[in-house]
Amino acid sequence: MTWWNICRNAKQSTKYSQLLSIFSTEDYIVQYVPKRRSHFISTEDAFGRQDSQQEKPKPSVYRTRHRGMEVIQDPFTNRGAAFSWDERERLGIRGLVPPKVQSFDVQAERVLSRVDALHDPLNKYDFLVSLLDRNETLFYRVLTDHFQKIAPIIYTPTVGLASQKSQVIFRRPRGMYFSKYDRGCMNTMVYNWPQDQVDVIVVTDGSRILGLGDLGANGIQIPIGKLALYVAGGGIDPRRVLPVVLDVGTNNEALRKDPWYLGIAEPRITGDEYFRFVDEFMEAVYSRWPQVMVQFEDFANPVAYPLLEMYRDKYLCFNDDIQSTGSIALASILASLRVRGLATKDIVKERIVCMGAGSAGLGVCETIIQCMETEGLRSHQAYRQFWLLDDKGLLGRGRVGLTPTQARFVRDDLQDGSSLEEVVRIVKPTILLGLSGAGGVFTETAIREMAKHVEKPVIFPLSNPVDHAECTASQAIEWTDGRAIFASGSPFDDVEYQGKIYPINQCNNVYNFPGMGLAVTACRISHITDDMFQAAARRISSLSGEDKERLFLPLSDLRKVSLQVATAVAEVAYEEGLATAEPPRKMTLHQYLLSHMWQPQYAPLVPL
């Protein structure tokens, strides 16, 4: 079949564009090795006067050493058919692009219509990631302007599928891979990364990807997705982010046997050997980028807490699943108090059952406990408000083999291993949290029982991706006769039940980490503390929109939310003496943070 025939055949046109984008991306790796870096010049006074996200700051100029084809091949300078005539002249690309100067708006429209025309989520993912490889600014424009539509493709739930199929959809590498065979070389390897300035690293060892288990080196898709949200939501400069996977092997046998798998097909290294490996990585990145913030992502529970404890005082880092998730879950609970007509201090009376006693479950419960303590409870009293279950049932009397954090939640007054239904019947919880990764474990019996005792049951199945949620939105609404306050980790549509629309909220750590990154980079914060996550939670919970039934602003307002999170975090950092950069005298903190947000706009290209 000729190229023309492929093009004419509507069904085949997808294949054609995929072939074309393979040609236009992988080939570059072979043919194009950038020798000189572009240089970004920011004009501070272009931003400071802006006070709202609606007023987008004017783009500063972008100075580049590239000429001719190089300009088109670099995703930071490429703008497809949107190069102005001046740029075509200045940079020697006249004749290398189609004659019509297409506007940024039309380009964005075209991307959206292409996404809509694709039906398979993985094809949508593939299309968008290949756009990211070709034209970063256009990708971020579409993501920022249509967050609610695009985020579920490049983030949960589709990123879960992309991680499972990473070896199949691979086109070109993005980020860095440190494998067990790189031991002893990491401090030199970090210099292979082309950017001298890196603000945020998201690193995973692939051992617990969403609720999908060990996906080894395929886990790289998660840091890629998270960092796209740092840029789109927090305005972090896309040139200054680095996705990383630590490939210490995988215990996923199916992947090890897959000839297409791109990671080390050996069992994971463990124990001291593992911790020495991570240590070498941390030393290497901080030796090259002393001010970088490292986000630990999707590390399995046995290593997640120990790594956080080892590094939280030594380096500028945090664990997303433990700390950011804790913060957004607390925000959701505080907002649910408001929706129920209660005050923040009433949190001390909540009875909380949590399915899942791993990194996220423990992180969430510990974060809520910190808030209960601030609101007047003693530590031991706060722990009494919780009932945690894992895959063996309730953490109860006589349970052995627990980590120190889990052991603090053991209920000596109840039988170990009690089922969710038994616990709900005895405890009559006001809040039910799901962080188990086990789809459907909130049974109809348990939820109907809960709804007998509480007027507005708070039901948060937070596991990802969608089919790992502990229950669906419509189940929660139906089983509580429309009384549930619902939030989930992955997006669900609003639910129509008996002629009424029920608002569905998303409770995901994406509400948190982009703002944290913005505060850290703009204010040069040296360490991340629990108080910062507490402040972020309170701030997010206060951001109610027009619909008072919703817990807080929707994700389409993520830039606004991130600016607020960053402000709250920075205020704590100044109080704690942990921030070294301050706003200029005539700027508010809010304006200063806004001025640091990268905007997805085509800045005029100027030769360097």
- Residues lying near ligand CC(=O)C(=O)O in the complex (CB under 6 A) are found at 156, 210, 298, 320-321, 464, 489, 508-509
> How far is it, in rounded angstroms, from Cα 527 to Cα 489?
27
Distance (Å) of CA 523 to CA 286, 295, 320, 540, 596? 18, 17, 20, 20, 10
- Chosen from Mg ion, ligand CC(=O)C(=O)O, ligand NAI, none, partner binding at 426 (C-beta under 5 to 8 Å by type): none
Between 77 and 463, CB nearer to Mg ion: 463
> Which helix (H) or strand (E) element contains residue 294?
strand 293-296
Taking the complex as a whole, the smallest distance from the CB of residue 419 to Mg ion amounts, in Å, to 27
Taking the complex as a whole, the smallest distance from the CB of residue 410 to Mg ion amounts, in Å, to 26
Assign residue 413 a region: left if phi > 0, alpha if psi is -120 to 50, beta otherwise? alpha
Burial class (CB in 10 A: 0-12, 13-18, 19+), 177: middle
Between 209 and 485, CB nearer to ligand CC(=O)C(=O)O: 209
Tell me which of 28, 155, 230, 274 is the catalytic residue: 155
321 is in an annotated binding site: yes
- For CA atoms 138, 139, 144, 146, give the dihedral sign: positive
> Which helix (H) or strand (E) element contains residue 381?
helix 379-383
Between 472 and 599, CB nearer to ligand NAI: 472
For residue 130, give the nearest of 205, 255, 227, 20 by alpha carbon. 20
Between 241 and 570, CB nearer to ligand CC(=O)C(=O)O: 241
CB 32 within 8 A of CB 73: yes
Phi first, then psi, for residue 560 (nearest 5°) are -65, -45
- Chosen from ligand CC(=O)C(=O)O, ligand NAI, Mg ion, none, partner binding at 77 (C-beta under 5 to 8 Å by type): none
Strands 458-461 and 500-502: unpaired
- Name residues contacting Mg ion, limited to 282-311 (CB under 5 A): 298
- Chosen from ligand CC(=O)C(=O)O, ligand NAI, Mg ion, none, partner binding at 72 (C-beta under 5 to 8 Å by type): none
Taking the complex as a whole, the smallest distance from the CB of residue 251 to ligand NAI amounts, in Å, to 13
Distance (Å) of CA 335 to CA 37, 346, 387, 505, 513? 46, 12, 21, 11, 19
Tell me which of 62, 226, 286, 602 is the catalytic residue: 226
Assign residue 249 a region: left if phi > 0, alpha if psi is -120 to 50, beta otherwise? left
531 is in an annotated binding site: no
51 is in an annotated binding site: no
Q: Does 205 bind Mg ion (CB under 5 A)?
A: no
> How far is it, in rounded angstroms, from Cα 327 to Cα 535?
9
For ligand NAI, the binding residues (CB under 6 A) are 208, 210-211, 300-301, 321, 325, 355-361, 389-391, 435-438, 441, 462-464, 468, 489, 507-509
Between 199 and 321, CB nearer to ligand CC(=O)C(=O)O: 321
Taking the complex as a whole, the smallest distance from the CB of residue 325 to ligand CC(=O)C(=O)O amounts, in Å, to 6
456 labelled catalytic:
no
512 is in an annotated binding site: no
> Which helix (H) or strand (E) element contains residue 242?
strand 241-247
Taking the complex as a whole, the smallest distance from the CB of residue 461 to ligand CC(=O)C(=O)O amounts, in Å, to 12
For residue 429, give the nearest of 404, 407, 447 by alpha carbon. 447
493 is in an annotated binding site: no
Between 238 and 434, CB nearer to ligand CC(=O)C(=O)O: 434
> How far is it, in rounded angstroms, from Cα 462 to Cα 361?
10
- Residue whose Cβ sits closest to ligand NAI: 358
494 is in an annotated binding site: no
Taking the complex as a whole, the smallest distance from the CB of residue 507 to ligand CC(=O)C(=O)O amounts, in Å, to 10
Taking the complex as a whole, the smallest distance from the CB of residue 516 to ligand CC(=O)C(=O)O amounts, in Å, to 13
Residue span binding Mg ion (CB under 5 A) among the ranges 71-79, 242-250, 321-329, 401-409: 321-329
> How far is it, in rounded angstroms, from Cα 167 to Cα 164?
8
> How far is it, in rounded angstroms, from Cα 205 to Cα 268?
10
CA 394 to chain centroid? 30
Taking the complex as a whole, the smallest distance from the CB of residue 513 to ligand CC(=O)C(=O)O amounts, in Å, to 9
| DSSP conformation letters of 477-507 | HHHTTT--EEEESS----EEETTEEE--EE-
- Chosen from ligand NAI, ligand CC(=O)C(=O)O, Mg ion, none, partner binding at 441 (C-beta under 5 to 8 Å by type): ligand NAI
Q: Does 321 bind Mg ion (CB under 5 A)?
A: yes
| Beta bridge partner(s), residue 204 | 245
> How far is it, in rounded angstroms, from Cα 346 to Cα 358?
26
> How far is it, in rounded angstroms, from Cα 446 to Cα 444?
6
- Chosen from ligand NAI, Mg ion, ligand CC(=O)C(=O)O, none, partner binding at 357 (C-beta under 5 to 8 Å by type): ligand NAI
Could you tell me which residues come within 8 angstroms of residue 361 by beta carbon, excluding any fewer than 6 positions away? 354, 355, 388, 433, 435, 436
End-to-end CA distance of the chain: 45
261 labelled catalytic:
no
- Chosen from Mg ion, ligand NAI, ligand CC(=O)C(=O)O, none, partner binding at 468 (C-beta under 5 to 8 Å by type): ligand NAI
Between 396 and 434, CB nearer to ligand CC(=O)C(=O)O: 434
Which residues sit in the known binding site for (S)-malate? 208, 464, 508
Binding site for Mg ion (CB under 5 A): 298, 321
Which residues sit in the known binding site for a divalent metal cation? 297-298, 321
Which residues sit in the known binding site? 208, 297-298, 321, 464, 508
Residues acting as catalytic residues: 155, 226
